[in-house]
């Protein structure tokens, strides 16, 4: 296990698939459901559900994990949302674009099959929700979507910052991010902590809301 600690934030990574327990199986069916049947829409982050859970249980803190798992490259059609699932979800500043592959046009669908990559990875975001008044925690599926490996550490960093900001709107403070030992995630951790790497255009350590970790002297 690799733990990176600075004066401002703590991030962790583990060589196994996940640091946090996952209550839902990592399968393609996770990304094909809709809100109506209790599942999720591919690429959509469930901040409305997170806010409801926070209000009813008074969660204030969370640890966020991100992990990719291999899936069979194939395209499926979700009739309830009119979305074709299986292509690589586009990223906008590192954040998934929801309902991108939604169309009623045969020509558009033909163009996607000819030009768009079929995804071989399912990217899953989980939150482990914590509260000061309880010793137990709750796992929450924040979002899932299909991608390929064609993203970089800056995409990861932008995505984590966006998740942090959006979670604050739901009154949830992200304490740390965890991932496997993919070099993209490790470099994002190095950049965000300043661990033998610098990110001059995004001075994260100078933010007013950074988490300060005070280590005991003895």
Backbone torsions φ then ψ of 207, nearest 5 degrees: -65, 150
pTM score, two decimals? 0.74
- What is the per-residue pLDDT across 71-130, written as a single tens digit (0 to 9) for each? 889 999 988 888 999 999 999 999 999 999 999 999 999 999 999 999 999 999 999 998
Q: How far apart are CA 215 and CA 218, in angstroms?
A: 9
With a cut of 90, say whether residue 211 has pLDDT above it. no
pLDDT of residue 5: 31
Backbone torsions φ then ψ of 66, nearest 5 degrees: -135, 135
The angle that helices 153-169 and 47-57 make with each other, rounded to 10 degrees, is: 40
Cα 42 from chain centroid (whole Å): 12
pLDDT mean over 163-185: 88
- What is the per-residue pLDDT across 21-77, written as a single tens digit (0 to 9) for each? 222 233 433 433 334 345 678 899 999 899 988 888 888 899 999 988 898 899 999
């Amino acid at each position: 296990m690799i733990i990176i600690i600075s004066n401002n934030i703590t991030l962790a990574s583990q060589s196994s698939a996940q640091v946090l327990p996952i209550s839902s199986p990592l399968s393609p069916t996770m990304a094909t459901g809709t809100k109506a049947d209790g599942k999720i829409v591919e690429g959509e982050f469930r901040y409305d559900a997170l806010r409801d859970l926070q209000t009813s249980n008074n969660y204030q803190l969370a640890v966020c994990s991100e992990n990719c798992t291999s899936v069979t490259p194939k395209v499926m059609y979700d009739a309830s949302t009119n979305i074709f699932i299986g292509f690589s979800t586009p990223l906008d500043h590192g954040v998934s674009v929801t309902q991108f592959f939604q169309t009623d046009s045969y020509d558009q669908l033909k163009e996607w099959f000819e030009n768009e990559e079929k995804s071989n990875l399912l990217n899953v975001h989980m939150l482990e929700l914590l509260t000061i008044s309880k010793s137990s925690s709750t796992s929450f599926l924040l979002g899932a979507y299909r991608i390929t490996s064609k993203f970089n550490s800056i995409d990861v960093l932008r995505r984590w910052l966006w998740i942090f900001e959006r979670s604050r709107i739901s009154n949830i403070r992200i304490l740390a991010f965890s991932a496997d030992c993919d070099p993209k995630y490790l470099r994002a951790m190095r950049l965000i902590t300043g661990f033998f790497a610098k990110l001059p255009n995004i001075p994260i350590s100078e933010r007013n809301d950074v988490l300060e970790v005070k280590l005991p002297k003895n």
